[in-house]
Structure 1
């Protein structure tokens, strides 16, 4: 073989190798990569119903009692009050809650009672003397009786009258002071009594809280024109997902003091003030003073229907399971009438909820369907709506 032919052969072999390498690279580049992570959601074989997206306003708030009064110690009165109720009692309006005893008045009453006792003794002694004088008069001779001049009764009656006058005056003083000895404080409304376990200098004697609650919330100036008094609301307790119906009862015309040091709102193009809003609750079952809630105001009057087969029962409660950013949560519902294979939901669900209708594998509240999504929601940088 000549040198030229050998070089041509070597060059052709190299070209073939290059082509083969290129083909393999393309093939490997287009081949599907091995899946390193797979959403657990796929393993459950879930069929979802997406709640239609409706324009809504969200109001975050805190549950507060309609009436509450804390009773502090009266520093003008010495001594401690005597509490007449127990912690947890539900008392009616007018019930005596606690009583102060004015020790100075008690001391005066004791002295007056001693004076009264002495005057009654004095009166008895005068009556004894008077009776003895009468007996002596009856046993005396006619001359001795005549010598008295008939002044016997007048003398002792005058003494009795003087003592009776003193007794009347003391009793009047006792009656006046007795109303000041014990100072009672009564309930101004029906409520539940709370007595602090640890007593400190500024700790109230007790607190009276009404059984009725309302939600104190706030709304920013962007959403303020969208809402109105009497607008229905769906109110959800953040800690336990209890949902109740309510409505807006009051909207403040003035911004909250110091609330947003004019807080910046993302995408608003500036800062916005917040305004106070009050909402009434149709039910307070499972709701306590201080619970944090979110009220949802639907701006469109649309009836939402969901598949009836997605609805589950727990006693007399109806609920659905929802995929909430990778975690399964429970939403309790208030339902309307059935419409074919669907049921109208009055309250309990939110716009764009992903309701779990069926699944091949059992799904329960608390299950994690997508660990990554769940972690992103719970992380401080997660963009939870």
Structure 2
């Protein structure tokens, strides 16, 4: 009886397990996943706009490297300090032309020799005059003693000596004139041709310039390929971004070169600049509206919007930092800051004249504070408004 009871319990357990498995198999499978964190961010996405990008480098308006004449072994005497901002015509450095100095020394030796010769001529003249003696004789008729006149002899000595002295004086004057003329060439003063900042190399290498002068004004020297050349024109506005730190600025196209740089035969056979792109590149200069945050040599990207339409964004998305206006943008999961130039306010929207890029995903609002540099765990917005544009 006990055995039958145990068998009944086992059969019951198996039945319960079987029913449970059957129920689970009958139900659809569910994927278990961690819900993404909801930042509660509302976005405004700009429309795609046809744009031209010009990559370039910040370049001084004027720059000059100052060197000395070749074959000079003198050290320059620098009159300015590294980092000084000097006006045009300021003396930057002076240096001595030692070949000229040598000629001056030879000239001065000639002058001293001339004065010695002049002095000797005077001594000789005075000695000769002292040696002239009057001769006496007795007049046979009167018996008187007569002394001969030495005036003529002395005059002859004086005249001869003066001719010698005059010749020596002429030689001295000629040598003195030469020395005076050479003195103007002995030291050369090098002056600034324009207002700029002085840069003095710390290490003096062979053939290195004494110093460089760089203007305080800058422009962007960039290139555009032949495909985009016809799309741009002078005075078009440019939004500029520094590649290294993301700083922004504005400017406009100031120059477009109609001719590409010279290409080698190999490039020509390859179909253009470098032979690999199949396109020529043309020099473009972009002027800068402000030099704040801009330094010589920075690599930048200039964006030219080809549309004449102004973008409207929600006024709520605009932030202030002093006198600067900016928006926060979700840039592939990272929050970045874009400074903007604003236009008119129309209701809940404000027009933006510059500072934004095509398809920017602007953060309008969020449940928690979002700041520049944040990494967004959830890139999907809780609500997204479509971008809008308005014709000028």
TM-score range, shorter chain: 0.7 to 0.9
Correspondence for 1:291: 298
Q: Counterparts in 2 of 1:55-94, with a 5 A limit?
A: 55-94=50-89
C-alpha spacing 1:339/1:117, structure 2 compared with 1 (3 Å) = farther
* Higher mean C-alpha deviation, range 124-133 or range 286-295: 124-133
What is the rounded CA distance, in whole Å, between the counterparts of 2:257 and 2:201 in structure 1?
34
Hey, what does 1:305 align to over in structure 2?
312
Q: Mapping of 1:150-299 within 5 angstroms? A: 151=155, 154=159, 158=163, 160-256=165-261, 257=263, 260-264=273-277, 271-299=278-306
Q: How does 1:333-372 map to 2 (within 5 A)?
A: 333-370=340-377
Deviation at 1:115, TM superposition (A): 3.3
Q: What does the per-residue CA deviation read over 1:259-299, in whole Å, with 9 as the maximum and x for residues that have no partner?
A: 853445xxxxxx44433322121222221111111111111
Q: Name the counterpart of 2:141.
A: none
CA shift, 1:112, in A, is 1.9
Residues in 2 aligned to 1:167 and 1:51: alpha-carbon distance in whole angstroms: 88
Indicate the residue corresponding to 1:53 in structure 2: 48
Q: CA 1:171–1:368 in 2, change beyond 3 Å: closer, same or farther?
A: same
Q: Distance in 2 between matches of 1:177 and 1:317?
A: 61
Determine which of 94, 98, 101 is the counterpart of 2:96: 101
Q: How much has 1:106 moved relative to structure 2?
A: 0.9
Whether contact under 8 Å (1:244, 1:347) holds in the other structure is no
Distance 1:369 1:124, change over 3 A: farther
2: distance between equivalents of 1:281 and 1:131?
A: 83
Q: After TM superposition, give the deviation of residue 242 of structure 1 in Å.
A: 2.4
Q: Normalising to structure 1: TM-score of the pair?
A: 0.75
Give the structure 2 partner of residue 268 of structure 1.
Answer: none
Of 325, 335, 342 in structure 2, the residue corresponding to residue 328 of structure 1 is: 335
Q: CA deviation at 1:339?
A: 2.5
Q: Secondary structure at the match of 2:230?
A: helix
In the other structure, the counterpart of 1:3 is none
After TM superposition, the structure 1 stretch with the greater mean CA deviation from structure 2, 339-348 or 51-60, is 339-348
| Post-superposition offset of 1:105 | 1.6
Residue ranges of structure 2 left out of the alignment (5+ in a row): 1-10, 130-145, 381-392
SS at match of 2:100: helix
Q: 1:17 to 1:306 in 2, by over 3 A?
A: same
How many angstroms apart in 2 are the aligned matches of 1:353 and 1:176?
71
The C-alpha deviation readout for 1:299-336, integer Å capped at 9, x for no partner, is 11111222333222222222222111111111122222
Counterpart in 2 of 1:33? Answer: 32
| Cα separation, partners in 2 of 1:361 and 1:146, compared to 1, 3 Å | farther
**Residue 48 and residue 104 in structure 1: after superposition, are their counterparts in 2 closer, same or farther (change >3 A)?**
same
Whole-Å separation in 1 of the counterparts to 2:378 and 2:121: 101
Match in the other structure for 1:113: 108
Quote the Cα distance in structure 2 between the aligned partners of 1:55 and 1:279.
19
CA distance in 1, matches of 2:351, 2:53: 22
Change (3 A) 1:273 1:119: closer
RMSD between aligned residues: 3.6
**3-state SS, counterpart of residue 99 of structure 2:** helix
How far did residue 169 of structure 1 move? 0.5
Using a 3 Å threshold, how does the CA distance of structure 1 residues 192 and 107 change in structure 2: closer, same or farther? Answer: same
Would you say how many aligned residue pairs link Structure 1 and Structure 2?
A: 344
Structure 1 residue 50: deviation in Å? 1.8
Q: Aligned in 2, Cα 1:157/1:297: closer, same or farther, shift over 3 Å? A: same
Aligned partner of residue 86 in structure 1, secondary structure: coil
> In the superposition, relative to structure 1, how do residues 129 and 145 fare at CA in structure 2: closer, same or farther (>3 Å)?
farther
